């Protein structure tokens, strides 16, 4: 939004203001040089020429400085700007929608749908928006006029530049058509003068009859053009003076000053003062060269000046008798003034008096000075008046502190706000710089940063990325709901460590210019949900080194992406003990990039003709590689990753095409044949059929590309003022879009295909839901409550699944919300401390304005004190309260806020927590640095004192064969807290670590119990495997309060094999989607002999078997069977492109081999059994080859 405002308003406003100021600035400079001419009274034209050129440079400098320092009026960005993709927007309580909208009313009581209650809600007073209306009307006028003024100026500059370009081209054409003079009298004169003046660049000499007077053309290799017919008959000294005049231009570098004049005239073409100044510079330049040609001023050498004047007259006279057009002779004049410039020169040479310098009388100069003084004083006077006027502004104070709570001085803060921040708003602190998307300020030496806001900002974002501390992101946004900006905010930064390395190629040569993108999440201010990634990268230096100093101390490893145009993009996890930097460990570890592959091909049209300038792109992770076709239609993409990729080509007037290709060393060319572009015209109208300006067309899907559509990121997505969006280079096959109405509803997943007929879409107005929230017993408004507005899905027979980040806090018993995104169903859930939660019915998107009132019923609270395993209060313990349909995602012994929809609570400093009775079965997951607890309401009433179970811990080393391997991601399988039944919350546990030096690893905060740990094999979202390797999931039991030693790998032997496609299948199989699994064969323990009367009756046998498993003997049998299955080896492997696989460190024993494909991929299946014989010493490097395995 800030970038859009900068382009649409701030940039044109800056241009206009700078141009207006240039009028008086140039006028003052012209007056100054005029006064210097009048007061000095000398005839030193070289000195006069110098300060006139200086005035010209100052004119351009003033323009640049004014543009840089200019700030548009603060109202400039207060105009309402809607973002079509916003899904929720809070309206003031008195806002009304169109009277055409119907109003639906309903009432929800606490006896309706009951949900878990919200945690404690902090009351904040929202800003009032009523005071900004007038300012918005004034800004509306400026937004219409300012861009037009700036655009008109741009057209004028373009016209002047075109005029200048035509002149340069004409001069160059004249030079090419002239005849070179390499010897003779003129050449001798030129060389002698060049030696006398010690010229470093001797110009060429040429003759032409297309000019009246001799002239110089060319900047880097100048050429003096001479009209031979005009100088024939002149004496030797006269010819020499004429050549010397032109040579003086070269010696003085006058061609460059002349070019500067023309550029200044283009930039300030509207400024009369600039034209006067430029004309005076041209005149003085000729005077200077005349004096050099004659050997001094007229007072010193009168005779030479008279001979030179006579020569000029003869040249003009003989040119007039030649076949030269009259317009060329008139062109010697200065913009049509009389006398002409030639006459002025001759008059000066012969001593004729002229009105020099510029004709300006004191009567003309005085009004000019008065205007300049007024324009300078007016901003100062107005600013003083504004300062003196009482305002309703308020201050916002930011205090940045470290982990210990101590203030951090002089912190750089990135500020993104709507409207944009101005330097005058920094009360305490320092303004540093601005950019198109943000401004940068700094707190003072005592720590605080104070900003003054005359009007409430619609959005304020504060970002801190200080070395030595974790990054922080604080946002207050009233676009979606009324969120008050507090008077002060304390930003507590976390401690951080520094990660770094040296990037080399496979030969160990340092790679310079590689971009390193770390995957680090911001710390968010309290109460904020979701995740924000740090969008920042560092570049390797000449020695390949790099460092990033803001990795939060809570991260034991950091994932980075290395991007370079000549190498494959690489994503890897860097453990702290290897890549962490400190004064005690300053050495940088090495990182290796593999040489990227090159993909080439041709782009042609239907007739086979090559298409020049077509853009071909492909995306690898976060890196987009692009290339443009040459005249032969050939392109070459370098640094491509060895994987399957989408290649897209676009060209003007052609239909966009896409191919999916497998990038590998043996791949062929990826050629494109482009058809004429398809035309798609979309008209977005309102309910009255009127076009909706600036409606947005959001690309949704094309050939299964999903939401990450880089293929269309260069296409304009906004309709014009009439609501029309047209694309003339559209693909000929169908794609899906979302039609977004600014401030209104969104039509999702609309299928579009190129056609002549216009598409017409009419997205409805926003769905506006409002109402009251009161106590059902007293009828009084509930002061603070929490509103959630969106459902992820609904299962009426079981539960609702809410989207937690589509929520906000409201106050004083009233709420009002605007909803615009139509993907998920709408409903409203109200939660308040001490009350049963209540939910409304499902609301359809076309209901217009709906009134739903809530009456909440008080409920009993459940309170408990949480203590550590040693009995100390567990202050700050995190709690997730889940009911059926909610999600709890546990990540490395912590709650993943972004993926958890269950209610989250936190114990106070004494370990005390209070929460309303949800009114339904629930589960509690309690996490603390000392331990955890998992409690179910179905197990009985919860105790008033909850003692945490200590964490388990696992440490060990990872090896492949005999060698320890670092920088490998290990994951937990089958362990932790899990739940997936329909009548329970969905609980998932994930725990991953990265091996450090010597392959060592540590799993902290492990849930006690059984599980498997092994190398992570990843087929992300059903995509190709990220690497070709294998993993044994080693079983272990993790004991509370103890450390389990678990070494992975280092025993057994490799097992290899080659997969081939099924018999009769001709299509190639993409083996990267194949998964090979080897599971140890388990011999079932001896089972009892069933009674004779059930042996031949399957139903009776099943009934007997189930009953027997409930007996003591049956339970022991089941436990023994599960133990054997758990202890059996389990190995997985990915497959390379040729169907080969390798499973490392396979222990001896018998295995079932199963081959399949991930997700929906097809390729066949295979099952077999193999045996690894006993190995002397427990380990062997000799691989067991299973041979060729043909799938079925």
pLDDT single digits (tens) 703-719 = 876 556 788 888 999 99
Query: How many CA atoms lie within 13 Å of 650's alpha carbon, on the beta-carbon side?
Result: 14
Q: Strand, helix or coil at 1033?
A: coil
Higher model confidence: residue 1014 or residue 20?
Answer: 1014
pLDDT in tens, 638-664: 988 888 888 999 999 999 999 988 888
pLDDT in tens, 147-159: 778 888 888 889 8
Q: What is the chain's Cα-based Rg?
A: 40
CB atoms within 10 A of CB 193: 19
Q: How confident is the model at residue 129 (pLDDT cuts 50, 70, 90)?
A: very low
pLDDT at 933: 96
Q: What is the pLDDT of residue 98?
A: 37
Residue 238's pLDDT is: 74
pLDDT of 619 above 80: yes
SS3 content of the chain, % helix, strand, coil (to 5): 25, 35, 40
Q: Which of 415-424, 806-815, 849-858 has the lowest mean pLDDT?
A: 806-815
Mean pLDDT of 34-60: 80
Distance between CA atoms of 695 and 698, rounded to whole angstroms? Answer: 10
Q: Is the dihedral of CA 1043, 1044, 1050, 1056 positive or negative?
A: negative
Q: Who wins on pLDDT, 446 or 467?
A: 467
> How far from the centroid of its chain's Cα atoms is residue 235's Cα?
72
312: helix, strand or coil: helix
Among 53-57, 364-368, 1162-1166, which stretch is predicted with the lowest mean pLDDT? 364-368
Instruction: Specify the higher pLDDT residue, 959 or 205.
Output: 959
Residue 678 or residue 298, greater confidence: 678
Residue 333: pLDDT above 50? no
Highest mean pLDDT among 220-229, 290-299, 502-511: 502-511
Mean pLDDT in residue range 152-173: 87
Beta strands in 189-234 (DSSP E): 204-207, 215-217, 223-226
Region 481-489 average pLDDT: 82
Residue 383 confidence (pLDDT)? 40
Q: Sheet harboring 657-662: ordered strands across?
A: 623-628, 615-620, 644-650, 657-662
Q: Do residues 955 and 1043 make contact, with C-beta atoms less than 8 angstroms apart?
A: yes
Picking from 522, 468, 43, the residue whose alpha carbon sits closest to that of residue 298 is: 43
Please report the pLDDT score of residue 295 as a whole number. Answer: 74
* pLDDT tens profile 1032-1072: 999 999 999 999 999 999 999 999 999 988 887 777 787 88
Give residue for tokens 């331990």.
Answer: 931
Residue 542 · residue 512 · CB < 8 Å: yes
pLDDT classification of 190: cutoffs 50, 70, 90? confident
Residue given tokens 């091996």 in the structure block: 995
pLDDT at 298: 64
What is the rounded distance in angstroms from the CA atom of residue 559 to the CA atom of residue 576?
11
Query: Which position has the higher pLDDT, 846 or 72?
Result: 846
pLDDT score of 93: 37
When pLDDT is averaged across residues 582-601 and rounded to a whole number, the result is 89
Give pLDDT, residue 22. 84
According to the model, what pLDDT value does residue 656 have?
93
* pLDDT at residue 1003 greater than cutoff 90: yes
Q: What is the mean pLDDT of residues 855-865?
A: 89
Please name the residues in contact with 148: beta carbons below 8 A apart, sequence gap of 6 or more.
none
What would the mean pLDDT of 894-921 be, rounded to a whole number? 87
Tell me how far apart the alpha carbons of residues 292 and 388 are, in angstroms, rounded to a whole number.
60
How far apart are the C-alpha atoms of 670 and 647, rounded to whole Å? Answer: 8
pLDDT at 621 over 90: no
Mean pLDDT of 88-100: 36
- The pair of structure tokens assigned to 1147 is 């222990």
What confidence score (pLDDT) does residue 490 get?
94
The confidence band for 366, taking pLDDT boundaries of 50, 70 and 90, is: very low
Beta bridge partners of 945: 865
Among residues of the chain, what percentage have pLDDT more than 70? 81
Stronger pLDDT, 967 or 616, i.e. the higher one: 616
Q: Which one, of 356, 359, 361, lies nearest residue 345 by Cα?
A: 356
**Tell me, what's the pLDDT at 707?**
53
pLDDT at 95: 38
State the average pLDDT for the chain: 81
pLDDT of residue 944: 92
Rounded Cα distance between 14 and 73, Å, is 10
In angstroms, the CA 545 to CA 428 distance is: 38
Residue 670 DSSP SS3: coil
State the pLDDT confidence band at 389, using cuts at 50, 70 and 90: very low
Mean pLDDT of 1023-1030: 71
Q: What is the pLDDT of residues 790-809, one digit of tens each?
A: 665 545 444 566 666 677 88
The pLDDT value given to residue 100: 37
CA distances from 709 to 705, 755, 1160 (A): 6, 22, 22
- Mean pLDDT, range 367-376, rounded to an integer: 48
Domains observed in the chain: 2-70+178-350 (no CATH), 395-492 (2.60.40), 498-592 (2.60.40.1120), 597-674 (2.60.40.10), 678-761 (2.60.40.1120), 861-1045 (2.60.40.1120), 1053-1190 (2.60.40.1120)
pLDDT at residue 1161 tops 60 = no
pLDDT of residue 1001: 93
pLDDT, position 677:
93
* Statement: residue 109 has pLDDT above 60: no
Confidence tier at 626 by pLDDT (50, 70, 90)? very high
Specify the pLDDT at position 620.
Answer: 82
In this predicted structure, what is the pLDDT of residue 314?
Answer: 72
Residue with the bigger pLDDT between 360 and 461: it is 461
> pLDDT band at 341, cuts 50/70/90?
low
- Does the pLDDT value for residue 332 go beyond 70? no
CA–chain centroid gap for 102, Å, is 41
Looking at residue 88, its pLDDT comes to 36
Which of 51-55, 724-728, 980-984, 1029-1033 has the least mean pLDDT?
980-984
HSE-up of residue 1174 (Cα within 13 Å, Cβ side): 2
- CB-side exposure of 371: number of CA atoms within 13 Å? 15
**Confidence band (pLDDT; 50, 70, 90) for 394?**
confident
């Amino acid at each position: 939004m800030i970038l859009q405002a900068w382009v649409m308003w701030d940039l044109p406003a800056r241009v206009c203001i700078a141009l207006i100021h240039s009028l008086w600035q140039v006028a003052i400079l012209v007056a100054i040089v005029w006064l210097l001419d009048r007061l000095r009274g000398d005839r030193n034209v070289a000195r006069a020429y110098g300060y006139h050129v200086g005035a010209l440079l100052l004119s351009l400098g003033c323009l640049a400085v004014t543009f840089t320092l200019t700030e548009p009026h603060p109202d400039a960005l207060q105009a309402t700007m809607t973002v079509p993709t916003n899904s929720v927007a809070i309206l003031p309580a008195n806002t009304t929608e169109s009277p055409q909208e119907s109003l639906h009313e309903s009432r929800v009581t606490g006896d309706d749908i009951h949900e878990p209650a919200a945690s404690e809600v902090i009351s904040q007073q929202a800003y009032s928006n009523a005071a900004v209306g007038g300012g918005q009307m004034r800004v509306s006028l400026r937004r219409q006029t300012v861009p037009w003024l700036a655009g008109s100026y741009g057209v004028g500059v373009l016209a002047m530049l075109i005029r200048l370009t035509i002149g340069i081209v004409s001069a160059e054409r004249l030079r090419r058509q002239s005849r070179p003079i390499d010897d003779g009298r003129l050449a001798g004169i030129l060389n002698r003068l060049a030696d006398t003046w010690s010229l470093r660049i001797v110009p060429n000499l040429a003759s032409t009859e297309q000019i009246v007077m001799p002239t110089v053309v060319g900047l880097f290799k100048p050429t003096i053009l001479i009209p031979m017919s005009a100088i024939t008959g002149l004496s030797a000294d006269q010819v020499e003076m004429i050549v010397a005049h032109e040579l003086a231009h070269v010696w003085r570098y006058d061609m460059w000053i002349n070019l500067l004049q023309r550029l200044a005239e283009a930039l300030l073409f509207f400024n009369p003062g600039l034209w006067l100044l430029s004309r005076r510079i041209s005149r003085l330049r000729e005077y200077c060269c005349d004096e050099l040609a004659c050997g001094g001023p007229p007072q010193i050498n009168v005779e030479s000046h008279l001979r030179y004047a006579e020569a000029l007259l003869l040249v003009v006279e003989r040119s007039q008798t030649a076949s030269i057009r009259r317009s060329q002779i008139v062109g010697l004049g200065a913009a049509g003034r009389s006398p002409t410039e030639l006459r002025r020169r001759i008059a000066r040479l012969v001593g004729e008096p002229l009105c020099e310098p510029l004709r300006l009388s004191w009567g003309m100069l005085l009004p000019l000075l008065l205007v300049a003084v007024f324009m300078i004083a007016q901003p100062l006077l107005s600013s003083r008046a504004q300062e003196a006027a009482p305002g309703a502004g308020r201050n916002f104070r930011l205090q940045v502190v470290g982990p210990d709570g101590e203030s951090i001085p002089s912190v750089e803060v990135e500020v993104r706000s709507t409207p944009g921040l101005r330097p005058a708003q920094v009360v305490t602190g320092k303004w540093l710089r601005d950019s198109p998307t943000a401004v940068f300020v700094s707190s003072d030496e005592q720590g605080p940063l104070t900003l003054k806001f005359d009007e409430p900002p619609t959005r304020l974002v504060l970002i801190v990325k200080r070395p030595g501390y974790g990054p922080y992101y604080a946002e207050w946004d009233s676009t979606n709901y009324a969120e008050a900006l507090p008077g002060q905010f304390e930003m507590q930064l976390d401690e951080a460590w520094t990660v770094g390395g040296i990037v080399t190629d496979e030969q160990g040569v340092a790679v310079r210019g590689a971009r390193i993108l770390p995957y680090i999440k911001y710390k968010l201010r309290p109460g904020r949900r979701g995740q924000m990634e740090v969008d920042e990268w560092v570049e390797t230096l000449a020695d390949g080194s790099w460092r990033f100093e803001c990795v939060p101390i809570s991260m034991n490893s950091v994932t980075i992406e290395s991007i370079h145009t000549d190498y494959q993009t690489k994503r890897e996890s860097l453990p702290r003990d290897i890549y962490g930097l400190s004064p005690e460990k300053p050495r940088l570890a090495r990182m290796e990039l593999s040489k990227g592959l090159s993909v080439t091909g041709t782009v042609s049209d239907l007739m086979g003709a090559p298409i020049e300038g077509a853009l071909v792109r492909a995306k690898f992770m976060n890196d987009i590689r692009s290339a443009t076709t040459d005249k032969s239609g050939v392109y070459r993409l370098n640094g491509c990753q060895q994987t399957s990729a989408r290649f897209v080509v676009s060209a003007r007037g052609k239909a966009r095409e896409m191919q999916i290709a497998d990038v590998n060393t043996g791949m062929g060319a990826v050629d494109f044949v482009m058809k004429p572009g398809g035309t798609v015209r979309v008209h977005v109208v309102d309910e009255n059929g009127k076009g909706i300006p600036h409606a947005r067309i959001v690309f949704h899907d094309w050939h299964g590309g999903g939401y990450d559509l880089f293929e269309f990121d260069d296409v304009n997505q906004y309709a014009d003022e009439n609501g029309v969006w047209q694309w003339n280079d559209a693909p000929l096959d169908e794609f899906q879009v979302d039609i977004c109405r600014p401030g209104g509803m969104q039509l999702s997943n609309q299928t579009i295909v190129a056609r002549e007929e216009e598409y017409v879409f009419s997205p409805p107005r926003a769905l506006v839901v409002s109402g009251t929230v009161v106590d059902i017993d007293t009828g009084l408004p509930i002061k603070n409550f929490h509103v959630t507005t969106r459902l992820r899905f609904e299962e009426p027979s079981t539960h609702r699944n809410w989207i937690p980040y589509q929520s906000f806090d409201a106050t004083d018993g009233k709420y009002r919300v605007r909803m615009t995104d139509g993907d998920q169903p709408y409903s409203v859930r109200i939660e308040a401390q001490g009350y049963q939660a209540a939910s409304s019915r499902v609301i359809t998107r076309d209901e217009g304005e709906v009134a739903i009132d809530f009456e909440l019923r008080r409920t009993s609270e459940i309170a408990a004190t949480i203590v550590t395993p040693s009995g100390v209060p567990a202050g700050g313990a995190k709690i997730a309260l889940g009911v059926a349909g909610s999600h709890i995602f546990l990540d490395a012994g912590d709650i993943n806020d972004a993926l958890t929809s269950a209610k989250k609570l936190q114990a106070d400093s004494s370990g005390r927590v209070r929460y309303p009775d949800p009114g339904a079965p629930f589960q509690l997951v309690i996490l603390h640095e000392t331990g955890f607890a998992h409690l179910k309401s179905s197990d009985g009433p919860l105790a008033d004192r909850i003692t945490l179970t200590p964490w388990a811990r696992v440490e060990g080393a990872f090896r492949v064969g005999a060698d320890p391997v670092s920088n490998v991601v290990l994951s937990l399988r089958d362990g932790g807290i899990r739940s997936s039944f329909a009548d329970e919350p969905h609980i998932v546990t994930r725990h991953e670590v990265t091996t450090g030096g010597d392959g060592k690893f540590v799993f902290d905060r492990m849930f006690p119990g059984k599980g498997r740990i092994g190398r992570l094999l990843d087929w992300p979202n059903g995509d190709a495997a990220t690497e070709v390797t294998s993993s044994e999931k080693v079983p272990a039991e993790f004991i509370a309060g103890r450390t389990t030693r678990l070494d992975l790998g280092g025993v057994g032997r490799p097992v290899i094999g080659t997969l081939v496609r099924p018999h009769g299948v001709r299509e190639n199989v993409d083996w990267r989607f194949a998964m090979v699994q080897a599971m140890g064969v388990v011999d079932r323990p001896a089972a009892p002999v069933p009674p004779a009367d059930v042996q031949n009756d399957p139903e009776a046998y099943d009934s007997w078997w189930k009953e027997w498993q409930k007996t003591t003997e049956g339970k022991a049998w089941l436990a023994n069977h599960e133990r054997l299955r758990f202890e059996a080896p389990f190995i997985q492997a990915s497959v390379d492109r040729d169907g080969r696989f390798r499973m490392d460190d396979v222990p001896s024993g018998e295995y079932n081999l199963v081959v399949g494909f991930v997700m929906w991929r097809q390729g066949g299946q295979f099952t077999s059994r193999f045996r690894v014989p006993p190995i002397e010493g427990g380990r062997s490097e000799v691989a067991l080859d299973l041979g060729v395995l043909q799938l079925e």
